[in-house]
Amino acid sequence: MEMQASRSLAVSQQQAWEALNDPETLKACLAGCDRFEPLGDDQYAVGMAVKVGPVSAKFSGKVTLSDITPPERYRIAFEGQGGVAGFGKGEADVTLTPEPADAAGQPRCLLSYSVQAQVGGKIAQLGQRLIDGAARNMADDFFARFDTLMQQRHPRAPAAPADAGDTADLSHLPAGLADETGHIEPTVDAQAWEHDAAAGVATPLDAAPATEAEERSRRAIPLWCWGLAIVVVLGAGWLLSRY
């Protein structure tokens, strides 16, 4: 199984690196994980419950970090046993790249990862599509939890409000639309129009009210519509009479 993806994180590269190397953070972000303990020499003991389709199992295994280049990248090697459910092992390359700051000037970074893994036992019999789907769902869930946790630890400062002393350039607006404070006043044209939605006719507001006969004529279905309807009905009757 191979999987590659990247995620934009609303934290700095250093903040993301520290979190990805913190066992408690990883444990909190891995659904079903009840154990993520350091063993020394960049190794960790991991225990977590996994469900793939109809197969559920408790996996116990080990995670080893290598090729560590703080705060840019590392490689994760993992292996786990789930009893009769099967086993899993593989490697993942994780890279953190700084991104341009957001509109509020807050730092961001891009997390990219590529995974190569093998599974065996009952899980392998479920089919590649089901296994890939479960793996992607687990990755999506991990990063949703990770992003939420990072926002709690490193809340974003609100965007700075616009300076009250700054006023917009209103020189392009017609006279009378804005006062000296920049407040825009609604104006009404000398000849306002209302739209008759039923008839699709624009009528001046100051025009004399239409008579009842004119109103019926304006709302009446056009003559060509009646002619078209008659042709369709006659044609349909002729076709039906042939069968």
Fold classified for 2-153:
Alpha-D-Glucose-1,6-Bisphosphate; Chain A, domain 4 (3.30.530)
Is 64:74 a contact under the CB 8 Å cutoff?
A: no
Tokens of 87: 């086993």
Tokens of 152: 């709690």
The pLDDT tens digits of the residues spanning 69-79 come to: 999 999 999 89
The pLDDT tens digits of the residues spanning 13-59 come to: 999 999 999 999 989 998 899 999 999 889 999 999 988 878 888 88
The pLDDT tens digits of the residues spanning 141-169 come to: 888 898 899 989 988 776 556 555 555 55
Shortest CA distance to 12 belongs to which of 107, 86, 96? 107
Say what the pLDDT of residue 127 is: 76
pTM beyond 0.85: no
Domain ranges across the chain: 2-153
- Burial of 9 from C-beta contacts in 10 A (0-12 / 13-18 / 19+): buried
